[in-house]
Amino acid sequence: MQPPRTGACSGPGRLLVLSLLTWSCTLERIPERVIRATSDDTLKLELSVPGDVPSGAPVEVRLEITNISDRAVDLHLTGREIAFDIMVKDAADRTVWRRLSGVATQSILQLKTLMPGESLELSDTWKHRFPPPPGQYAVTAEIPTDAAPLRFGPVSLRIR
């Protein structure tokens, strides 16, 4: 990367560029909040979201299912592309975003076999049509199966 030319960026423009660079670098250092739950000592379910994000910034949500047993585990999942839902609720327990809201999912049953130690990762990004107000939010997720759904969370998310 070459240094800027003298006079190329000065005054209020330079301050804006420095502010944006500082904001960008701050975003990369925000730690993820993770909750781990074990289902029947067979599966480890992980839900990861940033712990703190600025208002209007997209929020990456990641789900991971890991086979922690010593044998293969069959997951009976739905959809040609695996269906999963993510829900974000505000402090008053109102749903502010739901990934599958208004979306039709396929009833196709998909068999996914996880070998010992193998993981399945799913992710999506909450992109705000209208940025939610600053505050605490709870993120949960669910993956439908042919039996009881796999449930993740809640994990706390702070929007500043």
Distance CA 157, CA 50 (A): 7
pLDDT for position 31: 43
Residue spans of alpha helices (H) in the chain: 12-28
Q: Which of 49, 53, 148, 136 has the alpha carbon at shortest distance from 99?
A: 49
- pLDDT tens-place string over residues 97-115: 999 887 776 678 889 999 9
- In-domain check, residue 26: no
- In-domain check, residue 25: no
- In-domain check, residue 128: yes
- In-domain check, residue 60: yes
* Residue 2: pLDDT band with limits 50, 70, 90: very low
- In-domain check, residue 3: no
The distance in angstroms from the start CA to the end CA of the chain is 32
Range of the domain at 53: 31-159
Decide which of 23 and 33 is more confident: 33
In total, how many domains does the chain have? 1
Residue type, 115: M
**CATH code, 142:** 2.60.40.2360
Decide which of 106 and 154 is more confident: 154
Q: Which of 72, 51, 56 has the alpha carbon at shortest distance from 120?
A: 72
